[in-house]
Structure 1
Amino acid sequence: MERRLWMLLIGLTILLSGGPVWAQGSLEQRLNNWPDWSLPAPLPRPSNRDDLIYPDWFDGLWQVESIDLDAPGDPALLHQARFQADQRGRLIGDRSFNATAIGRALLGEQLLGVEEDPDSANRQIARLKGDLFLETTVTGRRQESPNPETFLADELVLQILHAPGPPRLSRIETLSRYSRCGEDICAEQWQGRYASPGESLRDKAIAQHHYKLRFTPLPASAPSV
């Protein structure tokens, strides 16, 4: 259970800009520094209305296969993901649907539901059995499209697991690189976990993970979570 909760912390895929030097950096440069990541990261703080805006080739419902390259013996994680236009015509991820799909794949009925903050596109709460709930807030985000076939996105999130006793805080950075593979989307993700704010004098990543993903399109009528 402990390991699956940690995987959920990572999966609810997503501190601040360090100044002018970082402002000129690219996500490819950030990737080149992995796994030697540290904070601050080159990620501006999003406003409440900001969201991750995807290229139009993400539109629709997808079957996602995720493989942990650091644990080759583990089975692939299978879940759905959905991307759709918001009220402003921007293509965004359906964060509640996607988080629920990942949570169900990892925890089954242990996940009771996922709620979005109506006042912020960057905050969610996942409620779990046992009076647990996980609060996730995006504190930094950057995206780049170096060419029409490639999309990079980097998000830093603050996650707070509320449970009996003191809350547990984590900061997780996820850098994703997506590319078109015919009708599919191929992707890699690199993640770094940092200690709680103020816990360490040097904000270096204390754990790293590397994933390979493939998105296969599903018909809109496919069964969903």
Structure 2
Amino acid sequence: MRRFLVLIIAITILLSDSPAWATPLEERLNSWPDWSLPAPLSRPSNRDDLIYPDWFSGLWQVESRDLDAPADEPLIHQALFAPDARDRLVGDRSFNAMAIGRALLGEQLLRVEDDPESANRQIAWLKGDLRLETTVTGRRQETPDQTSFLADELVLQILHAPGPPRLSRIETLSAYHRCGDEICAEQWQGRYASPGESLRDLAVAHHHYQLRFTPLPESAPSA
């Protein structure tokens, strides 16, 4: 009887969509696109940041393709990763946000400023007296092995414009792995309505991206 029970348990695990040994982020990925909040993320303190493996160090050219719109041209921008004051390898958030923003918006984006009191908050200034305030409200990272890295962040975005501010929440789950001298990645993104707009916090929009990081000389980065 005991052997029969063990066999039944083993079969149940093998047939399960999310294996019993799956990590929280692997389970989150397995549930795509049926995302809802709360996500399996921790609220970061002001000193917390997303800590990257050593193989992210340096300046990169990033090519991002929208897999939901394969006919569109890829988005090309730079990304920079360097040690912080605590010798942790982190992304240069203002530089990276400026690089992506300029690739998307051109001269409409004026500048991006990090909050000196928090590693998780920044403000983008745009033409037309617009300000986009972004705050990381949830984060988790996992390192399955020496060549793979998973990260999930939930951000609250507040667009300050003439009239009432507009709020949205965006979750981005990224899966990175080394591919030679480059880094290959996929990103899954869900957008949620403003807090309190609905009784159930279901993702109202989804995006799926494919990325490739190519190393660049660090002599002259440009956003």
Same topology, TM > 0.5: yes
Structure 1 length normalisation: TM-score?
A: 0.88
Name the CA distance, whole Å, in 2 between partners of 1:164 and 1:138.
Answer: 24
Is 1:181 the equivalent of 2:179?
yes
Deviations 1:47-78 (A, max 9, x none): 00000000000000000000000011110000
Q: 2:91 aligns with which of 81, 90, 93?
A: 93
Q: Which consecutive aligned stretches of 4+ in structure 1 deviate over 4 angstroms post-superposition?
A: none
Q: What is the deviation of 1:25?
A: 5.2
Residues matched between the structures, number: 202
Task: Identify the residue that residue 17 of structure 2 maps to in structure 1.
Answer: none
Work out whether residues 59 and 221 of structure 2, in 8 Å CA contact, stay in contact via their aligned partners in 1. Answer: no
Give the secondary-structure state (helix, strand or coil) at the position aligned to 1:197.
Answer: coil
Name the CA distance, whole Å, in 2 between partners of 1:175 and 1:57.
Answer: 19
Gaps of 5+ in 1: 1-23
Name the CA distance, whole Å, in 1 between partners of 2:98 and 2:23.
Answer: 33
Task: Identify the residue that residue 114 of structure 1 maps to in structure 2.
Answer: 112
Deviations 1:90-115 (A, max 9, x none): 00000000000001111111101001
Work out whether residues 25 and 42 of structure 1, in 8 Å CA contact, stay in contact via their aligned partners in 2. Answer: no
Q: What is the deviation of 1:140?
A: 0.1
Task: Identify the residue that residue 157 of structure 1 maps to in structure 2.
Answer: 155
Task: Identify the residue that residue 224 of structure 1 maps to in structure 2.
Answer: 222
Q: 1:196 aligns with which of 190, 194, 197?
A: 194
The aligned amino acid for 2:36 is: S
Gaps of 5+ in 2: 1-21
Q: 1:53 aligns with which of 43, 51, 54?
A: 51
Is 1:141 the equivalent of 2:132?
no
Name the CA distance, whole Å, in 2 between partners of 1:177 and 1:200.
Answer: 30
Structure 2 length normalisation: TM-score?
A: 0.89
